[in-house]
Amino acid sequence: MFYRPDDPNKPLKHSPLKAIVSPRPIGWISTVDKDGKANLAPYSFFNAVMDNPPMVMFTSAGRKSDREFGKDSVSNIRDTGEFVVNVVSHALKDAMNATSGAYEAGVDEFEVAGLTKAACQIVNVPRVADSPASLECKLHQIVDLPGDGNVMIIGNVVGIHLLDSAVRDGMFHATDYQPVARLGYKDYATISEVYELIRPK
Ligand SMILES: Cc1cc2nc3c(=O)[nH]c(=O)nc-3n(C[C@H](O)[C@H](O)[C@H](O)COP(=O)(O)O)c2cc1C
């Protein structure tokens, strides 16, 4: 079939876009507000955008009624210029889901989900202590996108935390830390099998 996103007849119940652009990594974004109160929320419109210098991005859709700019994560990053991307392991999937609720500004989702905070080295934002990897980020740019409150946040990665037990032979092994990926609809996947391909010269 051919599907046009703007077809008023809606031939599919849901847009297939998120099922097609999948699996997506989940950026579990921690921030603090102006008063130092922590916030944590998952964003799967998330990816690395540059290896050297290391940079990541996520996009936030829509605006919360109790915020001037977008969602809590976006407001906090506008105020402080800092955020942390935590990786969601299979063991943390339910806690990640619990942090996605539309809580009021000022609610600490670490507490909602019963998660332990760990200090960062460079940014003044807590990370998820049990997360297998966390990226400390400084804001590079906020790009306004079409749609009310829609923005892309681009950050420079200034520090990387890794679960020691998943580092072997100088490499970080996904089968050890089992990252959760977002698929379409309500679906998720966990990496359990990995293979190598050798690129042509
Ligand atoms: C797995 C998952 C991925 C999500 N990805 C996004 C996303 O990419 N962009 C977005 O705006 N909201 C996304 N959400 C919804 C936000 O997590 C949700 O709106 C949350 O309340 C935002 O929190 P905040 O206001 O504390 O930033 C996602 C939710 C889940 C469960």
The predicted-structure confidence for 108-123, as pLDDT tens digits, reads as follows 999 999 999 999 999 9
Q: Kindly report the pTM of this predicted structure.
A: 0.97
pLDDT in tens, 55-111: 999 999 999 988 888 999 999 999 999 999 999 999 999 999 999 999 999 999 999
Closest ligand 1 atom to the C-alpha of 101?
21
Does residue 127's CB lie within 6 angstroms of at least one atom of ligand 1? no
Binding site membership of 73 for ligand 1 (Cβ less than 6 Å): yes
Q: Does 189 contact ligand 1 (Cβ within 6 A)?
A: no
E-strand ranges in the chain read: 24-25, 27-32, 38-43, 46-50, 55-60, 82-86, 117-118, 127-128, 133-144, 151-162, 167-168, 171-172, 180-182, 188-190
Task: Show me where the domains of the chain are located.
Answer: 24-190
CATH class of the domain whose range is 24-190: mainly beta
